[in-house]
Structure 1
Amino acid sequence: MSDFLVVGGGVIGMMTTLQLADAGHEVTLLERGACGRESSWAGGGIVSPLYPWRYSAPISRLSTWSEGYYPELALRLLEETGIDPEYRQKGLLYLRVDDEPRALGWARAVGKPLERVAAEFLYAKEPSALPGCDGALWMPTLGSIRNPRLVKALRERLAAMPKVRIVEGCEVTGLQREGRRVSAVDAGAERFTAGEVVVCGGAWAAELLGSLGVGLPVRPVKGQMILFKAPPGLLQRVVLMDGRYVIPRADGRVLAGSTLEEAGFDKGTDRAARESLWESATRIVPALAGCEVEHHWAGLRPGSPDGTPFIGRVPGLDNLSVNAGHYRNGLVLAPASTRLLVDQLLEREAILDPSPYRLEGRLNTTM
């Protein structure tokens, strides 16, 4: 029997497993498909909420802590696995922001570098950006990470750790309860036991907890993205306009996203979304119109009522915890949200006040 059983092998589940194993614990990680192949793989990798001044303080606190941790994590994974997650801190340019005074006020209040820059600055940074802008908002500290490589590196590191067991292709079908404890986790014909169970199931978290009568208000929200095969150097940094964004990779490729769709667990792509994403991307960087669209995909975000994740113990159960409901910011908040939960599991001093993220008063339960 492992010390910990982590259900869900996305970036949240894998970072949780890594921290628990770093602390010397035996961890079993269960993943219904392949680790890191759901929303962790499908997102864009911007290490910040898109418009951070529009989010609540609890989300901002998680985001700020995570942003400071990503450079260290990327270097560690490169050293330990040889896989470069491609953390790039080249800043972000915001075009056509309609609540600019609010943005600048937020930046002053939290001490975040954000300023209004003139057109000359904008086009010196990104000559290919939408022509005719009179300026932009500039956040120089923003970074991005190549999330498919991040999750590949995390899995590689975990696979090399003697105290970690990874079980993929293992869909959990139910959680068994005895008194105030989860006694077992069923996955088809297999049954797993552990001292502590942690559900990091992303968009599927509510279904996982449903067998215990726990009403976790997390739902799937589909997002579609496209990838341009652009020449290296066409775009150097993230550019955001009208809620859509383009993200450069080190090899020149450019991601464009993303849609927001209430479509249940459907991960299909469609022509209308592709055309909408193409139009948004080519408005932001007109030269992308001459580049091949190399890939088009969709992922399922774990939507929650206000975007604040559920982090902590499930009320009424002494050995079941949850880390889910990050909505559009799973990758953004992953380092802080996993550290916050692991601090509680190991009874360490927490990096942040855990109370805004607790489950008490935020879910319906029939237990």
Structure 2
Amino acid sequence: MAAFDVIVLGGGIIGAALAEELSRRGQRVAVVEQGRVGAEASSAAAGILAAQVDVSRPGPFFELCQAARRMYPAWVARLERSAGRSVGFHADGILFLVDTPRGEAAMERQARWQRSRGLRVERWSPADARKQEPAVDGRVRCGFFFPTEAQVDNVALMAALALACRRAGVRVLERTVVRGLLIRGGRVRGVKTDRGPLAAPVAVNCLGSWANLGGALPLRLPVEPARGQMLVFQAPKRLLRRAVMSPHAYMVQRRDGRLLVGSTVERVGFQKALTLEGMSGILNGVRSMTSALDGLPFVDAWAGFRPWTPDQQPILGGTRVAGLYVATGHFRHGILLAPVTATVLADLMLQGRSSFPLAPFSPSRFRS
């Protein structure tokens, strides 16, 4: 039986980031992934790193997002050096457009408390928004620009991270299905897979939307898939200068011209399908911001699953089973939160405490 110090269950961006971090700290690590590393939510995302726009109130989750944003430039630079390739990280900001008085008031409140914490938020008039983003020609009441927000090509990021894992010595077991845990005396002793058992005193559940593994794990978590649909068009380069969002849709453009537009949030179980309702909702949302897509060629579309939790915040920390840790439920923020999750979980596992308070994200918060 192959033996490791830590076995990471799930090879999405959270599991891969944690495995790479642990291996760099001298641990013998295996990642068990039922498909290909990064092939699910991590590749289906748009790569918008929204540490402010998507957080409507202050609190521990907001602080976790800020910690992640501070880590990101150095983290991606290290991965790029290790992999020898760019991951398309750009801090161009995010423009959030509103078209109703209610939406304007909500964003004004959000801007005020974020400014009070020293963060930058600019209010733009419709004329300002159109000057900065000429493609924006829809109905706009005003815009809120978050200049320090960023984006990354998440597919390129996952490719670089997978390569960095292997170069760091992580044993990556793709197309290997987890069947359960080996537990004796109330402690993790290893992992059962369809290719045989693996020995380790520590296992980490990074399975995302599959966190409950059909009941095969000893701790049930309130995680379920939330389907997101995405469409891609080929556009002239620099049609958009930054990511543009609204309450109805978002648009983010890659440097090669591809324009990603999304997305839906649908709690429909594991139905990975594109639907007319979902796609038309996205297009109607985009059309309310711009007509620039009207003549663009459609090139791709997909659906993926985000790991949703009841409070839409991640589940991080240890469990009642000694040696079993959890890092899942990141919902729409998995790409952003990967470096901070890897750091704080590695701290907790190796030092017995985390550099960031994890109590608000503990699995125990859901106990009735």
Shorter-chain TM-score bucket reads over 0.9
CA drift of 1:122 comes to: 1.6
Confirm whether residue 187 of structure 1 aligns to residue 193 of structure 2: yes
Contact 2:250-2:261 at 8 Å conserved across structures: yes
TM superposition score normalised by structure 2? 0.93
234-243 or 355-364, larger mean C-alpha shift: 355-364
CA drift of 1:37 comes to: 0.6
Runs of 4+ in structure 1 deviating by more than 4 angstroms, as ranges, are none
1:92 maps to: 94
Q: Deviations over 1:150-194 (max 9, x none)?
A: 001000111222x31000001111112212112221111411111
1:313 maps to: 318
Contact 1:53-1:106 at 8 Å conserved across structures: no
2:167 maps to: 160
CA drift of 1:363 comes to: 4.1
CA drift of 1:56 comes to: 5.4
Distance 1:308 1:133, change over 3 A: closer
Q: Which one-letter code corresponds to 2:30 in the other structure?
A: T
CA drift of 1:349 comes to: 5.5
TM superposition score normalised by structure 1? 0.94
CA drift of 1:134 comes to: 5.0
Give me the whole-angstrom Cα distance separating, in 2, the residues matched to 1:143 and 1:38: 22
239-248 or 136-145, larger mean C-alpha shift: 239-248
CA drift of 1:352 comes to: 1.3
Distance 1:132 1:319, change over 3 A: closer
Instruction: Select which of 312, 324, 327 maps to 2:328.
Output: 324
SS at 2:293 equivalent: helix
CA drift of 1:117 comes to: 1.9
2:10 maps to: 8
Q: Deviations over 1:194-219 (max 9, x none)?
A: 121111000001226x3344221111
CA drift of 1:53 comes to: 4.0
1:23 maps to: 25
Give me the whole-angstrom Cα distance separating, in 2, the residues matched to 1:288 and 1:361: 44
Q: Deviations over 1:261-296 (max 9, x none)?
A: 111111111222222222222332211111112111
Instruction: Select which of 256, 268, 290 maps to 2:295.
Output: 290
Alignment of 1:128-207 (within 5 A): 128-131=135-138, 133-161=140-168, 163-207=169-213
Q: Which one-letter code corresponds to 2:183 in the other structure?
A: R
CA RMSD of aligned residues (A): 1.7
133-142 or 247-256, larger mean C-alpha shift: 133-142
Alignment of 1:218-257 (within 5 A): 218-257=223-262
Distance 1:220 1:50, change over 3 A: farther
Q: Which one-letter code corresponds to 1:239 in the other structure?
A: V
Distance 1:49 1:69, change over 3 A: closer
* Count of residues in Structure 1 that have an aligned counterpart in Structure 2: 361
Give me the whole-angstrom Cα distance separating, in 2, the residues matched to 1:264 and 1:38: 15
Over the matched positions of the two proteins, sequence identity in percent amounts to 31
Give me the whole-angstrom Cα distance separating, in 2, the residues matched to 1:233 and 1:360: 46
Confirm whether residue 359 of structure 1 aligns to residue 359 of structure 2: no
Contact 1:222-1:267 at 8 Å conserved across structures: yes
Q: Which one-letter code corresponds to 2:192 in the other structure?
A: D
7-16 or 171-180, larger mean C-alpha shift: 171-180
